[in-house]
């Protein structure tokens, strides 16, 4: 029986591509046994079992860049995680390992290289993360979503695949009626979808909160994913606009959210950008300025430079985000241009291509 370990996590941007790869592997060969390895206490420990897969958590933690003293326990956690990763590999006996980024993939792939297990890295962003850069030297294959990644990786190992996303995103056009019913919205009004990633986005939330009266007053309705930290405040604001604003801390039915959206306001994480390309939605991107190496701005600019999205800087969002959103909602021709151009950047077969690369490594081994 073929066995695959998939490691990584910390945010939805790492977890959902990992699950998409696992699902693609299962489609190719239903008998494949898949084990996930993540970080204890992180969201993958909840999301992966919900997707039907087993996961083991390591005690690893990321480097805290804002509080150096918080990193004193990092060496101990790394050593413990590496030891546990070796035990997991010894027990599970994988044919190949896959790393999707995030610090959780570090100990597992390091152990894999020490124990002779071939591995593939999937880099989602336009600027490679520190974990993937460190692990790339021993990787057999590196699947990427953006051009010019030979700046970070050996060009001979690179395969341009795009980012894997949830399969249901591919079929959003046929789901609008179902989506309207699910969110309790009106078919005659245009809808704004506001998403800040799995953790929420403070600047986006505060900007929408302050401008919600203007959005609804202009005749639009809103689906607003807030994240856990902002949900109670958002509910208080949205309560005035019953039937016109749907608020949730987390939206599991993202296919329906995209289906109902005429315009999307979003951060520019790699997963969000890839989903927006597949869903072909006119989008306003507000990159997270504190993202490592400012990679979200680079992700956003890959669209903006192709006239495939509008950029609003985080620092300007509170003043200009809602106005930019209303302007786009009122400009049908601009929506059409953005939708057409963003869809041309989509990679609908990414998960399948990566799964095939994973299986090729087993053959080579």
pLDDT digits (tens, 9 = 90+) for 53-72: 999 989 876 655 555 555 56
| pLDDT band at 79; cut points 50, 70, 90 | confident
Same domain, 230 and 358: no
Full residue range of the structural domain in which residue 23 is found: 3-163+348-364
Q: Number of structural domains, the chain?
A: 2
Average pLDDT of span 233-249: 94
Same domain, 179 and 201: yes
Model pLDDT for residues 162-218, shown as the tens digit of each residue = 999 887 888 898 999 999 999 999 999 999 999 986 666 899 999 999 999 999 999
Same domain, 194 and 298: yes
In angstroms, rounded to a whole number, what is the distance separating the alpha carbons of residues 170 and 255? Answer: 8
In angstroms, rounded to a whole number, what is the distance separating the alpha carbons of residues 365 and 358? Answer: 11
How confident is the model at residue 170, as a pLDDT? 81
Same domain, 153 and 299: no
Model pLDDT for residues 180-193, shown as the tens digit of each residue = 999 999 999 999 99
Q: In the beta sheet, which residues pair with residue 36?
A: 6, 55
Q: Pick out the residues of the known binding site.
A: 11-13, 125, 166, 198, 251, 270-275, 296
357, pLDDT greater than 60: yes
Same domain, 210 and 119: no
CB crowding 68-83: b at 16 or more within 10 Å, else e = eeeeeeeeebbeebbe
16 token code pair: 């959902």
Model pLDDT for residues 23-32, shown as the tens digit of each residue = 999 999 999 9
Beta carbons within 10 angstroms of residue 274's beta carbon: 27
Same domain, 10 and 149: yes
How confident is the model at residue 365, as a pLDDT? 44
Same domain, 209 and 139: no
- Domain of 360, CATH number, reads 3.40.50.2000
In angstroms, rounded to a whole number, what is the distance separating the alpha carbons of residues 295 and 125? Answer: 7
For tokens 């073929």, the residue is 2
Which residues fall within 8 angstroms of residue 16, CB to CB, at 6 or more apart? 47, 165, 166, 271
The CA-atom distances, in angstroms, between 251 and each of 193, 294, 306, 346 are: 11, 26, 29, 22
- How many residues does this entry show for the chain? 365
Same domain, 42 and 174: no
Same domain, 288 and 179: yes
149, pLDDT greater than 70: yes
Q: Pick out the residues of the known binding site for UDP-N-acetyl-alpha-D-glucosamine.
A: 11-13, 125, 166, 198, 251, 270-275, 296
Same domain, 155 and 246: no
């Amino acid at each position: 029986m073929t066995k695959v370990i998939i490691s990584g996590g910390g945010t939805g941007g790492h977890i959902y591509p990992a699950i998409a790869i696992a699902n693609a592997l299962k489609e190719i060969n239903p008998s494949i046994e898949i084990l996930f390895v993540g970080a204890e206490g992180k969201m993958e420990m909840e999301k992966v079992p919900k997707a039907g897969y087993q996961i083991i958590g390591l005690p690893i933690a990321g480097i805290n860049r804002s509080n150096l003293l918080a990193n004193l326990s990092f060496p101990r956690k790394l050593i413990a995680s590496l030891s546990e990763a070796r035990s997991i590999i010894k027990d599970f006996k994988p044919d190949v390992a896959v790393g999707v980024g995030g610090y959780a993939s570090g100990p597992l792939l390091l152990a894999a290289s020490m124990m002779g297990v071939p591995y593939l890295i999937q880099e989602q962003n336009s600027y490679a993360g520190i974990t993937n850069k460190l692990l790339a030297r021993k990787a057999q294959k590196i699947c990427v979503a953006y051009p010019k990644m030979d700046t970070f990786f050996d060009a001979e190992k690179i395969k341009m695949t795009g980012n894997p996303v949830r399969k249901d995103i591919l079929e959003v056009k046929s789901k609008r009626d179902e989506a309207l019913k699910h969110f309790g919205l009106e078919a005659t009004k245009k809808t704004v979808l506001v998403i800040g990633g799995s953790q929420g986005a403070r600047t986006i939330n505060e900007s929408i909160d302050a401008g919600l009266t203007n959005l609804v007053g202009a005749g639009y309705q809103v689906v607003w994913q807030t994240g856990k930290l902002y949900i109670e405040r958002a509910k208080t604001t949205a309560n005035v606009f019953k039937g016109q604003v749907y608020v949730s801390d987390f939206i599991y039915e993202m296919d329906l959210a995209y289906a109902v959206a005429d315009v999307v306001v979003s951060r520019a994480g790699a997963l969000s950008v890839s989903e927006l390309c597949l869903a072909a939605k006119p989008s306003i991107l507000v990159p997270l300025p504190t993202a490592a190496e400012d990679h979200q701005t680079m992700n956003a600019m890959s669209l903006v430079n192709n006239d495939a999205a509008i950029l609003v800087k985080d620092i300007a969002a509170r003043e200009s985000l809602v106005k930019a959103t209303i302007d786009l909602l009122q400009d049908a021709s601009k929506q059409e241009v953005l939708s057409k151009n963003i869809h041309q950047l989509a990679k609908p077969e990414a998960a399948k291509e990566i799964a095939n690369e994973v299986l090729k490594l087993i053959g080579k081994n």
